[in-house]
Amino acid sequence: MTKDRSKRRKLLAPVAETGKCGVFLMRMLGSIRLESELLISTLQQTYLIGARSLVIIMICGFFVGMVLSLQSINALQQFGASDQVSLLVGKSLFRELGPVLTALLFAGRAGTSVAAEIGLMKATSQIEAMQLMAIDPVKRIALPRFLAGLISLPLLTAMFNAFAILGAVVFSIGVMGLDPGIFWSKLQSGISFGKDFVGGVWKSVVFGGIVSLIAVYFGYYAKPTGEGVGTATTRTVVLSSVLVLIFDFIMTSFLI
Amino acid sequence: MKDPIIRIRDLVYRRGTKLILDGVSLDIKRGSIVAIMGPSGVGKTTILRLISGQLHPNRGSVEVNGKLISSLSRRDLYECRKEIGVLLQDGALFTDLTVFENVAAPLREHTALSESEIRERVSEKLHSVGLVDTEDLMPHSLSGGMARRVALARAVIMNPKIVLFDEPMTGLDPIARSTVSRLIRTTNDRLGLTSIIVTHNVEQMRELVDYCFILASAKLIAEGSPQAMMNSQDPAVDQFMNGRVEGPLSFSNKDRQTGQQNAEHS
């Protein structure tokens, strides 16, 4: 009987966790007020987690663009269609690789630091001190970081895409000697603003929400010990990566 | 006692199946400094958490300033906490803010004071705890004693009626300890506070406090002036106050609990 119950509890644990996470999200959204303090701290966090992720995003984007065009040219050459490379690179970037890879990088770079930061605040009783001063930590600590992630990821994705295109230009025009005119005109005519570009932006907004919600949630509910903070960071990366890929499939099947 | 600021009645608190507090009743007089003492892990910090509303009792009541803490909504509880200052173990300063911003945090959150008024009040409080020219320092560059004083300034910045201290002297050198101890007394008397200190250190409390409550084995075993406690004939009180190994209070792990972890956050 008790064995049954503990088994059931184990099975239901993810459901309960999801619910708790949803309640947490509602608490965050419910504490949004139009006030300068929230704006300032959100901007600060956007700088800390967004702007500081910029370099890694740009480097990765550049190389992803290069490798994409290398692979595409290699494959397209067999059909004598290597001038289509910008179309292939552009489509795969704007629709899939840009939002997904940026979200995964963002989870590793910013998600972990947010989870660890909040977890450490908890371990050193700073969160408790806030509550005791009647300052709501959900509003002052979690919300600005969540909003900053939501704002940062689409912008970072745009940077990633831009640098990936740059990488593709460098490789296919600079190295492989493709005609720049064909490259740009194929890109311009082949990529639709609505489906390819806006679809990608939607994805990155959703991914931004997922990654930053998970980071603040795990940080906030971390066990207040060194080990607890470690667990929170690991779970943040793992779960947000998995969820990004799952939601990528779900959203693609609606957007396509 | 007439009109106590804190009235605790028949308080029962369980963590899991373990009884942490079993029928504790006590009154705390307005304007006094009282100590809640007892061996480590006896539920002293738990009492503080019940007073501040971080935990809810399984039975019994905690009244602060006439308000029944466990019955308040989150908003009312936060309202009520504005009248309570808390100094946690190690101070719990915000590590990403300067000393000034740490002390100013409650003002920024709860008042609409102008920047210059905030600056004035923060300097005044920092001054009153003996800190000058420290406003721009970060918490990690402070010594233990200084950090504790900053935390004290932060705890009283909203001019609360009650200040709760959780082991305020732990980890300080003797000079810093005496300084903090004196500061607690002067702050209490000057601002007309009621201070509640949770500690297991008998020595430090003897000079500082007006009244002691002694907890052991989940119950309140004695209360009275420090002097009366020192001279108590009760074997358990005598054992604790004079630090004897032999006596009715056991020291086995089974009976001890670290009361700091697992606190549910509201």
**What structural domains does chain B harbor?**
6-248 (3.40.50.300)
B143: which DSSP letter?
A: -
Orientation of helix A143-169 relative to helix A199-220, angle to 10°: 140
3-class SS string, B20-81: EEEEEEEEECCCCEEEEECCCCCCHHHHHHHHCCCCCCCEEEEEECCEEHHHCCHHHHHHHH
Question: B213: burial class by Cβ within 10 Å (0-12, 13-18, 19+)?
Answer: buried
Average pLDDT over residues A5-19: 87
d(CA A53, CA A83): 33
Average pLDDT over residues B9-38: 88
For residue B145, what are the CA distances in angstroms to B169, B173, B195?
Answer: 9, 8, 19
For A127-187, the DSSP string reads: HHHHHHTT--HIIIIIHHHHHHHHHHHHHHHHHHHHHHHHHHHIIIIIIS---HHHHHHHH
Contact A126 B94 (CB under 8 A): yes
The predicted-structure confidence for A189-202, as pLDDT tens digits, reads as follows 988 888 888 889 99
d(CA B149, CA B183): 8
d(CA A135, CA A127): 9
- Output helix, strand, coil percentages for chain B, rounded to the nearest 5: 40, 25, 40
pLDDT score of B263: 41
Cβ neighbours around B126 below 10 Å, total: 23
Q: Name the residue in chain B with its Cα closest to that of A129.
A: B92
C-beta of residue B226 within 8 angstroms of C-beta of residue B209:
yes
Q: Which tokens in the block code for residue B35? A: 């100590």
d(CA B43, CA B48): 9
Residue B174 has pLDDT above 90, yes or no: no
Q: Name the residue in chain A with its Cα closest to that of B154.
A: A133
Interface residues on B facing A, Cβ-Cβ cutoff 8 A: 52, 54, 78-79, 81-82, 84, 86, 88-90, 92-95, 105-106, 108-110, 154, 158, 261, 263, 265-266
Q: Name the residue in chain B with its Cα closest to that of A38.
A: B109
How many helical (H) and strand (E) elements, i.e. helices and strands, does chain A have? 12, 0
User: With bands split at pLDDT 50, 70 and 90, how would you rate the model's confidence at B251?
Assistant: low
**Inter-chain contacts counted by CB atoms under 8 A, chains A and B:** 57
Residues of A with Cβ-Cβ distance to B90 under 8 angstroms:
124-125
Cβ neighbours around B66 below 10 Å, total: 9
Mean pLDDT value across chain A: 92
Residues of B with Cβ-Cβ distance to A38 under 8 angstroms:
none
d(CA B99, CA B91): 12
The predicted-structure confidence for A135-175, as pLDDT tens digits, reads as follows 889 998 999 999 999 999 999 999 999 999 999 999 999 99
Contact B106 A133 (CB under 8 A): yes
The predicted-structure confidence for B75-117, as pLDDT tens digits, reads as follows 888 888 888 888 888 788 998 889 999 999 888 888 888 889 9
Closest Cα in chain A, distance from residue B120 (Å): 20
From the centroid of its chain, how far is CA B241?
20
Residue A90 has pLDDT above 50, yes or no: yes
Strand order in the sheet with B67-68: B18-28, B6-15, B59-64, B67-68
The predicted-structure confidence for A220-249, as pLDDT tens digits, reads as follows 999 999 999 999 999 999 999 999 999 999
d(CA A209, CA B102): 30
Cβ neighbours around A2 below 10 Å, total: 6
Average pLDDT over residues B22-39: 89
> What pTM value is reported for the model?
0.84
| Percent of chain B predicted with pLDDT > 90 | 10
Q: Give CA torsion, residues B146, B149, B155, B160, to 10 deg.
A: -160
Mean pLDDT value across chain B: 84
Average pLDDT over residues A90-119: 94
d(CA B152, CA B156): 6
Q: Name the residue in chain A with its Cα closest to that of B48.
A: A132
Average pLDDT over residues A73-98: 90
ipTM score of the complex? 0.79
Closest Cα in chain B, distance from residue A37 (Å): 9
Contact A125 B110 (CB under 8 A): no
Element (H, E) at A61: helix A54-77
d(CA B135, CA B137): 6
Residue B265 has pLDDT above 70, yes or no: no
Average pLDDT over residues B226-232: 83
Closest Cα in chain A, distance from residue B85 (Å): 7
